[in-house]
Copies of this chain bind each other. A is one copy, B any other.
Amino acid sequence: MNWNLTEADIDRITLGAGVLGTGGGGNPWLGALMAKAQLAEGRRLRVIGLEDLAPDAQVMALAGIGAPTVGVERMVEGSESARLIRVMEQHLGHRIDALIADEIGGSNAIAPMIAAARLGLPVVDADGMGRAFPEVQMTTFFINGHVAHPSGLTDFEGNTLIVTEARSPEMLERLLRAGTVAMGSAAYFTTAPMTGAFVRRHAVPGTLRLAHRIGDAVLAARAAKDDPVAAICGAMGASVLLRGKVTDVERRTEGGFLRAVLTLGGLDADRGRTVRLTVQNEYLAAWEDGRPLALTPDLICMVDSETGRPIGSEEVRYGLRVALLTAPAHPHLKTEAAKRVVGPEAFGLRAP
């Protein structure tokens, strides 16, 4: 596969990545603006398949890190992530052959494309989550033993650090998170390079295509005056948990994360039902009458019930009319090893 993205592709991927972001992953519309700016400057946004990766290819994962409430408000010029890759190459003493999304959710579907376009590299149609998760160690890469260093972190002013040794992926998360907070709660990070063979074995495959398919379904449904919510469900194998409106928002930014408890009240067929969501950047659990309706690692997505527009955890507000969806996580996130890192216990989830 050698897929050069068009503006139309970016629109679809952005929409789909917003849905797959499960509330987090960074504002996707900003990512779309940045990606289109790359095309306008004559650069290519080239996607290759997992099957195109040579076993010894050097692949680096890249993502934004920070609280989404902050990310939205920061100016992004787009060159900082490319510079970070160059700094890492210099530190490593070798070149990188391809980039991959750490998470397909939100702007993090696009983030590696911006850097890759500037560096003339392809991005791989895959990612380390098949969705978004709030913490650095929560990827199929780390779950399957990827080394925690060297990892790089940079902000929009050029402040940059390299973690040359982290004793565990959790320690890497602590160091990168602390650096991100010091940088003003918005930054880009990259983890250590992986071989093509490792990525082919452990990445969640085809997630750029999946995001594109979801976005395409939404746009087609809108054009045909069909229900975009049903279109999303069809495109990603999701089901509707509730249609209703937001009746309460309890939200704070703490330690570099957005944390919240959201309450949705059912409308129409769902009138009288109340669903509460536990949020750490992402929608991690949906509860009804104190019992879980859906739990991480399965996807919980919120979209505008009229338009299918994905709604990030930072923009949820009282009165929004929404559909709450769930879809099963990829089998890579359902292993015993994965459960310890991204399962409900890993987050200490309890009914709010």
Q: Decide yes or no whether A273 CB sits under 8 A from chain B.
A: no
Q: Decide yes or no whether A70 CB sits under 8 A from chain B.
A: no
**Contact, CB under 8 Å: B167 / A158:** yes
With both beta carbons as reference points, the residue of chain B lying nearest to A168 in the complex is identified as B159
Taking CB atoms, residues of chain B closer than 8 Å to A163 are: 159-161
**Contact, CB under 8 Å: A162 / B159:** no
Taking CB atoms, residues of chain B closer than 8 Å to A87 are: 164-165
Q: In the complex the two chains form, what is the Cα distance from A275 to B174 in whole Å?
A: 41
Q: Which of A112-120, A127-135, A177-185, A285-293 has 4 or more CB atoms under 8 Å from chain B? A: A177-185
CB distance from A63 to the nearest CB of B (A): 18
Q: In the complex the two chains form, what is the Cα distance from A158 to B178 in whole Å?
A: 17
Taking CB atoms, residues of chain B closer than 8 Å to A177 are: 182
**Contact, CB under 8 Å: A162 / B165:** no
**Contact, CB under 8 Å: A165 / B175:** no
Q: Decide yes or no whether A166 CB sits under 8 A from chain B.
A: yes
Asked, given contacts A177-B182, A179-B175, A182-B175, whether A157 binds B167 with beta carbons under 8 Å apart, the answer is: yes
**Contact, CB under 8 Å: B182 / A161:** no
Copies of this chain, count: 2
A interface, by DSSP: helix, strand, loop or mixed? mixed
1/0 per residue, CB under 8 A from B, across A189-209: the answer is 000000000000000000000
1/0 per residue, CB under 8 A from B, across A43-80: the answer is 00000000000000000000000000000000000000
Q: Decide yes or no whether A1 CB sits under 8 A from chain B.
A: no
CB distance from A192 to the nearest CB of B (A): 13
Taking CB atoms, residues of chain B closer than 8 Å to A154 are: 165
CB distance from A207 to the nearest CB of B (A): 30
**Contact, CB under 8 Å: A159 / B171:** yes
Q: In the complex the two chains form, what is the Cα distance from A179 to B171 in whole Å?
A: 10
1/0 per residue, CB under 8 A from B, across A137-155: the answer is 0000000000000000010
Q: In the complex the two chains form, what is the Cα distance from A158 to B171 in whole Å?
A: 11
Q: In the complex the two chains form, what is the Cα distance from A164 to B167 in whole Å?
A: 20
Q: In the complex the two chains form, what is the Cα distance from A163 to B159 in whole Å?
A: 8
Taking CB atoms, residues of chain B closer than 8 Å to A175 are: 159, 161, 179, 182-183
With both beta carbons as reference points, the residue of chain B lying nearest to A160 in the complex is identified as B165
CB distance from A182 to the nearest CB of B (A): 4
Q: In the complex the two chains form, what is the Cα distance from A91 to B175 in whole Å?
A: 19
Asked, given contacts A178-B182, A181-B178, A182-B178, whether A164 binds B164 with beta carbons under 8 Å apart, the answer is: no
Q: In the complex the two chains form, what is the Cα distance from A174 to B180 in whole Å?
A: 10
Taking CB atoms, residues of chain B closer than 8 Å to A167 are: 157-159
**Contact, CB under 8 Å: A161 / B164:** yes
**Contact, CB under 8 Å: A158 / B165:** yes
Taking CB atoms, residues of chain B closer than 8 Å to A171 are: 159, 182
CB distance from A77 to the nearest CB of B (A): 15
Q: In the complex the two chains form, what is the Cα distance from A165 to B161 in whole Å?
A: 7
CB distance from A204 to the nearest CB of B (A): 28
With both beta carbons as reference points, the residue of chain B lying nearest to A90 in the complex is identified as B164
Residues of A near any B CB (own CB < 8 A): 87, 91, 154, 157-167, 171, 174-175, 177-179, 181-183
Cβ-closest 10 pairs across A and B: A178-B182, A178-B178, A160-B165, A174-B182, A161-B163, A160-B164, A162-B162, A175-B182, A161-B161, A157-B167
